[in-house]
Amino acid sequence: MFNQHDIAGHKDESQLNQKRDRTRWISEQRKVSDGAVGWAADSHPGRNHHLLSRPVVRGKFLFAGGEKLYVKGVTYGTFRPDLEGNEFHDTEEAQRELARIRSNGFNAIRTYTVPPRWFLDAAQRHGLRIMVGMPWEQHVSFLDEPERMRSIEKRIRAGVRACAGHPAVLCYAIGNEVPASIARWHGGRNLEQFLHRLYKAAKAEDPHGLVTYVNYPSTEYLRLNFLDLLCFNVYLESQKSLEAYLAHLHVVAGDRPLVMGEIGLDSRRNGEDGQARSLAWQVRTAMASGCAGSFVFAWLEFRPDDPKP
pLDDT for 162 equals 98
167 phi/psi in degrees, rounded to 5: -65, -15
The residues that bridge with 67 in the sheet, in sequence order, are 64
How far is 298 from 147, CA to CA, in rounded Å?
A: 34
* pLDDT tens per residue across span 102-157: 999 999 999 999 999 999 999 999 999 999 999 999 999 999 999 999 999 999 99
pLDDT for 25 equals 43
The CATH homologous superfamily for domain 35-296 is Glycosidases (3.20.20.80)
DSSP 50: G
Q: Which run of H or E residues covers position 263?
A: strand 258-263
How far is 225 from 192, CA to CA, in rounded Å?
A: 10
Candidates 214, 168, 171, 166; CA nearest to 62 is 171
pLDDT for 296 equals 96
* pLDDT tens per residue across span 216-246: 999 999 999 999 999 999 999 999 999 999 9
Higher pLDDT: 160 or 302? It is 160
**CA angle, 284 then 79 then 195, to 5°:** 70
Query: How many of the other CB atoms lie within 10 Å of CB of 120?
Result: 22
Q: Judge contact between 303 and 72, C-beta under 8 A.
A: no
Q: Which range among 24-38, 72-86, 127-141, 253-267 shows the weakest confidence by mean pLDDT?
A: 24-38
How far is 1 from 60, CA to CA, in rounded Å?
A: 38
Helices (H) and strands (E) in the chain, counts: 8, 11
* pLDDT tens per residue across span 50-72: 568 999 999 999 999 999 999 99
How far is 50 from 207, CA to CA, in rounded Å?
A: 22
**Structural domain spans, the chain:** 35-296
pLDDT for 251 equals 97
pLDDT for 231 equals 98
Task: Give the confidence band of 47 by pLDDT, cuts at 50, 70, 90.
Answer: low
